[in-house]
Amino acid sequence: MMARAWLWLRSVLFRGRLDRDMDEEMSAHLRRATERFEASGLSSDAARTAAHREFGNVAAIKEEARDARGGRGLESIVADLRYGARGLSRTPFAALTMIVVFALGIGCNAALFLFISSLVNSPLPGMSRDNSLVRIRGIERRAGISVGRSSRIPSTATTRRSRRCFRPSPPGHRRTSCSM
């Protein structure tokens, strides 16, 4: 696992060196193929052409080999970020406006979320969180399917009669359901 992670990191960090290695490896392949064709009687030009024909499209093969080496996802993210940064630096006022609009939008959302969250989820000011308080929510089973419904007054009376559900829970334990 660590070895795989290192290989992936290597393909990202040492991309230049790995590319040079790949160039050298493929050039060596082409050179030896050319020598083989020359030895079979072809002129050096014809041998070079034959070697390239046999090898295939060098640029496309390099591209495929880079894909096989991995780390392309991160490379393309970095390239996209650079492209974006260059675009923004060309139009600084538009970039500034966008940043301010985004900052205001995110700030408003965060403030609203905090407000609603403290209103709904936290106890009212001056009240401590009391474990003996429970939220009563009715679930009705119709033909084997559970259907949520809000509690009505009569069922609240039934709930009051059933004291079994309202024994204090042990510390750290939260009762999630109780049938009556």
Partner 1 sequence: MASSSTPLLQGTLDLIVLQLLHAEPTNGYDLALRIQNTTGEVLAVPAGSLYPALYRLEQRGLIRGAWQATDSGRRAKVYSLTRAGISHLNNQREAWHRFSGALTAILRVS
Backbone angles phi, psi at 40, to 5 degrees: -85, 0
Task: Name every residue whose Cβ is closer than 8 Å to that of residue 123 and which is 6 or more positions away in sequence.
Answer: 129, 130
Using the rule CB under 8 A, is 103 a contact of partner 1?
no
Closer CB to partner 1, 25 or 140, in the complex: 25
Taking the complex as a whole, the smallest distance from the CB of residue 74 to partner 1 amounts, in Å, to: 14
The window from 24-32, 40-48, 95-103, 152-160 that contacts partner 1 (CB under 8 A) reads 24-32
| DSSP type of residue 169 | P
CA 70 vs CA 1, 26, 81, 94, 154: distances in Å = 15, 18, 19, 36, 66
CA distances from 110 to 61, 98, 104, 105, 121 (A): 49, 18, 10, 9, 16
Q: Which is nearer to partner 1, 26 or 95 (CB)?
A: 26
Which three-class secondary structure state does DSSP give residue 129? coil
- CA–CA distance, 75 with 78 (Å, rounded to integer): 5
Give the binding range for partner 1 (CB under 8 A) out of 48-56, 108-116, 146-154, 155-163: 48-56
134 touches partner 1 by CB under 8 A: no
29 binds partner 1 (CB under 8 A): yes
Shortest distance, position 133 Cβ to partner 1, whole Å: 57
Among 17, 20, 32, 167, binds partner 1 (CB under 8 A): 32
Does residue 120 touch partner 1 according to CB under 8 A? Answer: no
Give bridge partners of residue 142 from the DSSP assignment: 145
State yes or no: residue 140 binds partner 1 (CB under 8 A): no
Query: Which residues of the shown chain bind partner 1 in the complex (CB under 8 A)?
Result: 3-4, 7-8, 11, 21-22, 24-26, 28-29, 32-33, 54-57, 60-61, 64-65, 67-70
